[in-house]
Structure 1
Amino acid sequence: MAYTIENVDWARDKHRLKAIREDVFVLEWRVPQDSEFDERDASAFHVLLLEEGEEASLPIATGRLTQCGEIGRIAVKRGYRNMSVYRALFAALIEVANRHNVTILKVSCSLDSVSYHQGLGFKPEGQVFMDGGVARQRMQCPVERFPFPDVSQMH
């Protein structure tokens, strides 16, 4: 499959971003809609991954990088969850971080994957917090050492 990455703006493209995130998080994962979308969406950098078709491009995945360097809201439509899609998405987000001089990248992971992320070189940041009814921990590492995280544990 051929994919295209678009760097998109929330104000202009939120309908495409929301459609993917609603499918994945609200409908599939049962995350409350009011906790899926937040005030950081408006100022975050968003990427959209499209599958190239003969007649049209189909939006299949999205992710965001907040102003403080947090990568999250990684949503990939069912049927497209494979390593090439995740690699393309993370590569695009890391490229955005480099372009905007973000030096520390952060992820928010569930508590059961903290030790996994520590093994990759992440360090815990701050206190445990709740997000959509799930206890989470922020983890961070320098952008130049950012490993491919356990995407099944992210949101």
Structure 2
Amino acid sequence: MTIRIRKYSWQLAPGHIRSIRQKVFVEEQKVPPELEWDDTDEIADHFLAVLPDNTPAGVARMFSTLNETGHIGRMAILPEFRGRGIGEALLQHLIMESAGQYQELKLSAQQHAIPFYQRAGFHVCSGPYDDAGIPHLDMRCFAPTLLAAQAQPHSGRPTPLLLGADTESWLFDSESHLIDLMDSMVGQASQRLWLYDRILDHDLYDRHRFRELVSGLARHHRLSEIRLLIHDDQPLVKRRHQLVELMRRLPSRIELKLVNNDYPHEDQPFILADREGIIYRHDFTQPSGFAGFADGGRVKLLSENFQRMWDTARSSLELRELPI
């Protein structure tokens, strides 16, 4: 069945958009009208899903408060049209619409709908909370452009980009796709992040969002462990780096060491997240390689190699002596 998606401003939106939300949220789910209708409608784009015979079936809205983040909300499918893939088609359209426009998508998901959003590439990023009497959790997607770039979206991937669940590798050959995969993986790590590279390249690692993700991991659990293993600290000495500043604020959670070249070391950089996530590059100078979100075998092997390098590595005296 071909579903068509139409986009409107609130001022020009047909009455079907309001009536579907009224029926699903206010009447079916008992959301108070004063919570359903808000000022955000005025600044949002509104999407209407229609069947081949032009019958309205579902709605959603998307808006932005920051240039890099799009917010999806008010997704609703009429009861008589559920189970036909209309919600999936609508959500996929929103992802395609946001590609190249937003670096991140966020939404507040009703607890029962979490698997629906996970199938589209979103992951949970909060604990449960109550909204209008309904349990919700926040979810986000750091890679709308990467997801939209797939020739056959989610083909063979029941839960794309989900740490511990997405069993197929992602190949990348551009810095933008590498960054999407890095942030998607690090953003889901709950305890461990081990990073090995020649330098802490500013384009890859000295980014506000990456710093916030690392900071969130460092503060998430008292046993969080973030290890940065590099060959050269001179670029960090010459120019302020957000990870270095974060490391100095959280010295018990984040540690940086320099590889001892007198001992065997890896010739390819990689990132390990918890026990199953890996991002592996073919060499230090190119943004090409693969990512695995449920690749425990490779993670175990590289963890052993990382530990051997870490045990023989030394601390950076120059970074330690830098003024705060």
Paired AA for residue 95 in structure 1: M
Please give the per-residue CA displacement for 1:40-91, whole angstroms capped at 9, x wherever unaligned: 11111211011122xxx22110011121412121111111112421121012
Change (3 A) 1:4 1:121: closer
Paired-residue identity, %:
26
Deviations 1:102-132 (A, max 9, x none): 111112124577799789662515x765421
CA 1:24/1:124 → structure 2, altered by over 3 Å: closer, same or farther?
Answer: same
- How far apart, CA to CA, are the structure 2 residues paired with 1:49 and 1:115? 21
Alignment of 1:15-94 (within 5 A): 15-53=15-53, 57-67=54-64, 68-94=69-95
* C-alpha distance in 1 between matches for 2:118 and 2:59: 25
Report if aligned partners of 1:45, 1:96 keep a CA contact under 8 Å in 2: no
The residue that corresponds to 1:153 in the other structure is none
Q: Which whole-Å CA distance do the structure 2 matches of 1:115 and 1:80 have between them?
A: 19
Which one has a bigger Cα radius of gyration? 2
CA contact (8 A) 1:36 1:132 kept: no
Instruction: Name the counterpart of 2:278.
Output: none
For residues 29 and 128 of structure 1, the distance between their equivalents in structure 2, rounded to whole angstroms, comes to 18
Structure 1 residues 14, 117: CA separation in 2 closer, same or farther (over 3 Å shift)? closer
- Between 1 and 2, higher relative CO (CA 8 Å, sep ≥ 6) is seen in 1
CA contact (8 A) 1:51 1:59 kept: yes
Q: Residues 123 and 25 of structure 1: is their aligned pair in 2 closer, same or farther, counting only changes over 3 Å?
A: closer
Amino acid at match of 1:139: M
Residue 47 of structure 1 contacts residue 92 of structure 1 at CA under 8 Å; is this kept in 2?
Answer: no
**Moved segments of 4+, more than 6 Å:** 112-120, 146-149
- Partner Cα distance (2:113, 2:85) in 1: 22
Contact 2:3 2:50 in 1 (8 A): yes
Match of 1:139 in 2: 139
Please tell me the root mean square deviation across aligned C-alpha atoms, in Å. 3.0
TM-score between both structures, scaled by the size of structure 1: 0.75
| 1:93 counterpart SS class | helix
* Structure 1 Cα separation of the partners of residues 134 and 76 of structure 2: 17
CA shift in 2, pair 1:22/1:84, >3 Å: same
- Matched residue SS, 2:98: helix
SS class of match (1:30): coil
Q: Which has the higher strand share?
A: 1
How far, CA to CA, are the matches of 2:117 and 2:58 in structure 1?
Answer: 23
Note the residue ranges of structure 1 that are not aligned, 5 or more in a row: 150-155
Between the two proteins, the alignment pairs up a number of residues equal to 144
* C-alpha distance 102-116 of structure 1, shift in aligned 2 (>3 A): same
Residue segments in structure 2 that go unaligned for 5+ positions in a row:
149-153, 160-324
Give the letter aligned to residue 32 of structure 1. Answer: P
| Paired residues of 1:24 and 1:75 also in contact (CA < 8 A) | yes
Whole-angstrom CA distance in 2 between matches of 1:35 and 1:141: 25
Q: Measured at CA, do residues 58 and 134 of structure 1 come closer, stay the same or move farther in structure 2, by a change above 3 Å?
A: same
